[in-house]
Structure 1
Amino acid sequence: MNNKRSLIALFIAFSFVVVLSNMITAKYIEDKVNNKIRAEIESLSYQVMQVRHSTDAVYSNTKPEERWNDVMAPTELAKYLDIKLDQVYNIIDDKESEIPYVFIEGAYRFNKDAIDKWLASRKVIVGESIVY
């Protein structure tokens, strides 16, 4: 009978250790995920600030009625780049493209000057021709 009680006590202690271990592991993972999310939010905040500063610099010397002339919708960007609209969305989806845009209430908007700078930085040699 004593062996049975010892076995039950050992089983309860082992169960307690497993539950405690799982709780510690879950807390560790939660902290790691929260830190990663916090870092991503800070990175995005920094990028938004950069866009705001570059936009402020571009617009500081323009009249208010001229400011909207420099902002393009995806269809206008497709015409400006002489590509198809679905190619514009493919470029947006490709995070490596780093195309400068803002997302306002479900709509993408592109600053013409930022797009021009982005194009100048994106020269790629294909065969013997340069593709922008």
Structure 2
Amino acid sequence: MKQKEIIINGKLSIDAIEMIHEYFKNHTVNGIEEFVMSEKEFLDKYKGTYCLNEWSTIKQYAIYTIDCFMCFKSYDVIIESREKFYTYAEADYRLCGKCFDTNNKLYHSGLGLHLAGDIVSQKSH
């Protein structure tokens, strides 16, 4: 997974924009993708600030580019929350929409073939 961009729908101060970028900032540690700042650290740092109040009035999300496990083509997915980020980051298989459909067709065709493990796709959410 690679963060492509952060989208902010609404007008915010420069400080609030920087805070949102800090919220979505992540890195890889020992092969595991995680946020630089925990939710608690983030809230402790910005609790009671104008930036946090301002942030709650708009919609923001990050777009990540993900490589499909089956066809290896890249696709983009919108991540609105840390929970959704971790759903993708911790999944056993990340599939594009076409491969997700193919996997489901194989399973429901009577052959019973199916990837074992957690599967995420832009179609599964």
Structure with the higher fraction of residues in strand conformation: 2
Alignment TM-score, normalising by the size of structure 2: 0.26
Structure number with bigger Rg: 1
Structure with the higher fraction of residues in helix conformation: 1
Alignment TM-score, normalising by the size of structure 1: 0.25
The higher-RCO structure (CA 8 Å, 6+ apart) is 2
